[in-house]
A and B are shown apart, each in its own frame.
Chain A
């Protein structure tokens, strides 16, 4: 069976949805700390820390 038909049928979110969201977040954090010292730093900690936390949880969780 051609894989494309299967993936249409199951209607999962695209393979790229989460990677794009998490990496866009990380980039915003990398830039924000560069241009502003107060809020920029705080945003950077959240925007870079969140993907790291999610990744760690996914990698270590037991089902």
Chain B
């Protein structure tokens, strides 16, 4: 059992860790709610680009010969001749679609255009944009429109949330000693009622909130982890290429040949995305293919294949380091997108419960001394001061 001194210390920790992060966490819960269903929302609003049914003639053409990857890229570049291709990827649930990302240079930038191209006909299907309501939700949730500093700041708030959750769990026992599980004292003052609800919702959502909080924090480090990986591992692989400039367009081998070589180097895998020379996920001399497996677990893990951009020969197939594996496994645990629609609905319910926990916590703090200390009124022994 906790001494009154220990309760005071944990109460202080719970109060301050929560107070600092609560408003940001409310923002993350509110913006996260539509993001859980972004796929469904985009589908309903028509923002999601899908491969259309083909005419019989088109289908026959596509069956005879699929357009090469180079033709897909040329089609996309024709829309933005002054730009270069940074990345290309296939739709998650359809091999009939390519998404090509174009930017002014290979450097990391916020200024990119995305073009969707039909993989069967090499026709442009549209230009997906991250804008409107969902775009705002996305940016607010990821980085508060402030780039990497915004991400890292939200990560810090997430760490405070984890501290608030842990200290809240420690305080659960002294607050619940005289109550049975799930008891809500409605007949008492609103403060006591909301304290009991705060404790009930907080303790039931505990594991989920810790997992979503911790994986969210890990996600904010994604950019840094990728940078570290390049420094840590890729620099060895790229040592022989040191000092050579970015491979010019004219000297590059056909991308389709590089793609075929990459797939042959990792049999049984599927493409996640291609990073072109000079971009953040590749080297100046390589087109890097990120492949993934086809089983539930391996589908989350990426296998990079570095292909020499000039020769279309595979340079290396490096094992992904543990920290990037941890990052990739932590992503579904944050998004809740790995168990179908029922899981998304449960995710939303837990998100709403967390909003209630945050809101009631704030309410209990605002009303902490009216008319007497909450812990006193709620019957905590020994008296703990302002615990909520």
State the A residues within 8 Å of B (CB): 3-4, 7, 12-13, 15-19, 22-24, 26-27, 30, 33-37, 40-41, 44-45, 48-49, 51-52, 54-56, 58-59, 62-63
Contacts and interface: CB of A to CB of B under 8 A. Distances in A.
Interface string B290-317: 0000001100100000000000000000
Nearest to A32: B339
Contact of A19 (B204, B300, B342, B353): B204
Nearest to B342: A45
Interface stretch (B38-46, B124-132, B205-213): B205-213
Contact of B181 (A7, A18, A35, A41): A18
A40 B343 contact: no
6 contacts: A15-B177, A17-B181, A19-B204, A30-B208, A48-B208, A55-B200
Nearest to B182: A58
Residue picked from B208, B297, B350, most chain A C-beta under 10 Å: B208
A4 to B, nearest CB: 6
B349 interface: yes
Given A30-B333, A55-B201, A19 B343 contact: no
Contacts of B197: 59
A34 B180 contact: no
Contacts of A18: 181-182
A55 B204 contact: yes
A63 to B, nearest CB: 7
Interface residue SS majority, chain A: helix
Nearest to B196: A59
Contacts of B172: 15, 19
A23 B181 contact: no
Given A37-B296, A58-B200, A19 B181 contact: yes
Given A23-B206, A37-B296, A49 B342 contact: yes
A61 B84 CA distance: 60
Interface of B: 1, 172-173, 176-177, 180-182, 184, 186, 197, 200-201, 203-208, 211, 296-297, 300, 329, 332-333, 338-340, 342-343, 346, 349-350, 353, 381
Given A45-B342, A52-B346, A4 B333 contact: no
A13 B216 CA distance: 35
Contact of B339 (A4, A13, A24, A33): A33
A47 to B, nearest CB: 10
Nearest to B297: A35
Contacts of B184: 58-59
A13 B27 CA distance: 38
B204 A54 contact: yes
B200 A59 contact: yes
B188 to A, nearest CB: 13
Nearest to A23: B207
Contacts of A63: 186
A36 B230 CA distance: 32
Contacts of B204: 19, 22-23, 51-52, 54-55
A30 B339 CA distance: 9
A50 to B, nearest CB: 10
Contact of B381 (A3, A33, A51): A3
Would you list the 7 A-B pairs with minimal beta carbon distance, nearest first?
A: A58-B182, A33-B339, A18-B181, A55-B204, A23-B207, A45-B342, A26-B207
